[in-house]
Amino acid sequence: MTDALIFRSARDLIDGLRRRDFSARELLAEHLAQIERINPAINAVVSMDIEGAELAAAEADRRCAAGEPLGPLHGLPISYKDTHATAGMTTTYGSSLHATNVPDRDDEIVHRIQAAGAIRIGKTNVPEFAAGSHSFNSVFGTTRNPWAVARSAGGSSGGAAAALAAGLQPIADGTDMGGSLRNPASFCNVVGLRPTPGRVPEPGAAIGFSPLGVGGPMARSVDDLALLLSVIAGPHPDDPLSLSDDPAALQHVTTADLRRMRVAWAPTLGDRVRVEQQVLTVLEPAVQLFESLGADVEPACPDLTGADETFRTLRASQFDLLWGDLLAAHPDAFKPDLAWNIRQGQGRGESPLSSRSMWLCSGAINPGTRVRSPASIAARSASSAACSAQRDAPCSVTISSNSLSSSRRAIGGAGGRASRCVHALALMVGVGSMLAFAVRSMMRPYQAGEGVMRSGPVEGYAGRGWSLLRTWRPRPATPFRCAPE
């Protein structure tokens, strides 16, 4: 065998395994040899279980020889993103606080890939808690780009993208909040897709109603990406946002008739971002290609005013929910930019976006003051008319959650137009989540203990997403001044 085998498409490899042109053990050996050759230079795969992989490959060969049913990913080697829990294998989340963490069960995305017949080799590198566009951490160091090792592989799924590009595996899993599948795929010349929220379910997510972060696929081609997406997609009863569509329809890429389709060309997002000419030179031929296929391409971009501020505020609030208590307990264990972003979610310090702050509160909450109980909320709400003169910033409240406010600090963010965007988006997310949860509840009664994160960096927030959904109540959007403790 040669390097040509490990760079073949995932679909070709599966076909070869089914025809028994080569065995799962031989395919695994080729990928392990490639990891031994290339990984020391790029640091994409950071934990390995070679013995477990060899046993799994032998079992895959036995099943094939016996004529037993084979999964759609039969025999494909894979290392999983180190923010996805893997039973019996170290899952660090890129944090020294979890350097020895060994979960007792797989995350759902890992479970589905394993059940489809993939062979687990190890884990791929990430930034700390997957927060960042470059993959480095204090546990494993920096992942480098296989095309140019002096450059970044991107992030947060940088290890996955680098492993794909270097031939260390034919498919990869990842996650995406602000580009964590798309950014490293672009850096490493592979394919990454951020699916629609709910397409890839995340039962047990600490914040079950949030559409910000999603799991998704990576591959070296669109065809292979579609195959992996069809495996990891599909409904799950313990994810209130999961979509019910049959994932089998996603397995094959079909041609589309682009005639008379209107396509917007917005390489700079309406002059909001600077794009180097080298990048534009690569993108511009796509305009002619789409036009040759009958599409009507024209320069256009939606009004994205306030979008950056909205996203950063929502991200900061989510980071605080996930890691605020952990940061308080271990202030020196976080990289500075992540610690700063968490504190922005707590409303501590000057907002990077605006000198004023927007607070989502349940009652009158002192900026930067922890709310100790729902009773405390009610007491301060009743006395909000007697606000201290030193608190002269009115709080415009649109939605809130007793559970959120009684367990976390007030959420800091941007004021003015950004606040209105946040309010509108939060309202849409909250109402949509409540409707989804209500429908789910009618179809299937909620059972205590379901959807609980059992290990990892958000341990201690078990079931918080469900709790928020069950206790969420809208409150009037009436301005008030924040009362002191």
Check: CB of residue 474 under 8 Å from CB of residue 401: no
Per 3-state DSSP, what percentage of the chain is helix, strand, and coil (rounded to 5)? Answer: 40, 10, 50
What is the rounded distance in angstroms from the CA atom of residue 89 to the CA atom of residue 106? Answer: 9
Active-site hit among 79, 81, 400, 407: 81
Encoding tokens for residue 190?
A: 């592979």
Q: How far apart are CA 28 and CA 8, in angstroms?
A: 14
- Whether 156 sits among the annotated catalytic residues: the reply is yes
Residue 158, sorted as left (phi over 0), alpha (psi -120 to 50) or beta, turns out to be alpha
Q: Which of 156, 189, 188 is nearest to 173 (CA)?
A: 156
Q: Which of 47, 152, 156, 242 is the catalytic position?
A: 156
Structural element, H or E, at residue 116: none
Check if 81 is active-site.
yes
Angle formed by the axes of helices 50-65 and 10-19, nearest 10°: 50
Cβ within 8 Å of residue 434, ≥6 positions away: 469, 472
374 close to 467: Cβ distance less than 8 angstroms: no
Question: Residue 360: how many CA atoms within 13 Å on its side-chain side?
Answer: 32
For the residues of 423-477, what is the DSSP string, one character each? HHHHHHHHHHHHHHHHHHHHHS---TTTT---SSTTTT-TTHHHHHHHHEEE---
The single residue of 157, 180, 401, 407 carrying the catalytic annotation is 180
| Residue in 123, 133, 174, 136 with CA at minimum distance from that of residue 335 | 136
Residue 409 DSSP one-character state: P
Q: Is the bond preceding residue 156 a cis peptide, omega within 30 degrees?
A: yes
Catalytic residues: 81, 156, 180
